[in-house]
Amino acid sequence: MRFLLIGIIVASTTAGEVLQAAGMRRHGEIRDFRPGAIRRAIAVLARNRFVIAAVAAMAVSFFAYLGLLTIADLSFAVPATAITYVLETVLAKYVLKEHVSWLRWAGAALVICGVALVSL
Amino acid sequence: MTHEHARLRVKTWSFAVVVVFSNVFGNFFLKRGMPPSLATPLAYITVLFHPWVALGVLLMIVWMLSRMALLSWADLSYVLPVTAVGYVFVAIVGKVLLNEQITMQRWAGIGLIVAGVALVSGGTAPQTRAGPSQ
């Protein structure tokens, strides 16, 4: 049961976060943090297709995560979902076209090994 | 240009701190408020009105919005490893406040995560590809 939930969480989190990054990058850098400007930015983002799809995927991820928390320790639940790092870094390079330097690959690899040690 | 780099770096670090801590304490309050089991689909909804769970959800909303702002200028392949330092704080919060165990193996994992975060945040710029507004 816990591994089924982790599978759902990993798939929906990866999809949601890559869509979120794609949508936000299309929107452009947020520079104005006064309340009125934030309200306007949220109104614009609420019509951004990437952001809408991201929120839907993250809602699935959130409820599956609530289910996982009822049957697993926090220090198991959080690290076990970290396989998303591998998937998302690969997607960042090939889908979002980011320049993933060797330092970033090395950093991501260290994080993934660390997360595996923490969760096993 | 160096001034622009410095501005972006300070802004990135400030938002990374908010992203990390709203996530760590959001997770903590969710775990603290969750009942031993969620028996029916309706229970998934009603549990959201439990005070600790509601506080956890509120922090998760702060996390989501601050992360979206951060991603409007910073690369996903930068944000991912840098915000991973949250795993370290989750483990520590789990130990200190929920009495979960941290074994030697987990401490080793925490060390690797910290090294990875330091490498990416210290060694690479947050943005490699300007968005449409630049």
| Contact predicate A14/A82, CB 8 Å | no
In angstroms, the Cα distances linking A5 to A42, A69, B42, B67, B70 are: 31, 10, 18, 24, 28
Task: Give the closest-approach CA distance of B3 to chain A in angstroms.
Answer: 16
Mutation to test the B interface, candidates A1, A14, A25, most B Cβ within 10 Å? A25
Model confidence pLDDT, tens digit, residues A18-27: 999 999 999 9
A57 pLDDT above the threshold of 90 = yes
Q: Is the ipTM of this complex over 0.85?
A: no
* Helices (H), ranges, chain B: 2-33, 41-46, 51-71, 76-83, 85-98, 104-123
B34/A66 Cβ within 8 A = yes
Task: Give A34's contacts in chain B (Cβ within 8 Å).
Answer: none
| Contact predicate B52/B26, CB 8 Å | no
Model confidence pLDDT, tens digit, residues A8-52: 999 999 999 999 999 999 998 998 888 899 899 999 999 999 999
A103 touching chain B per CB within 8 A: yes
A97 touching chain B per CB within 8 A: yes
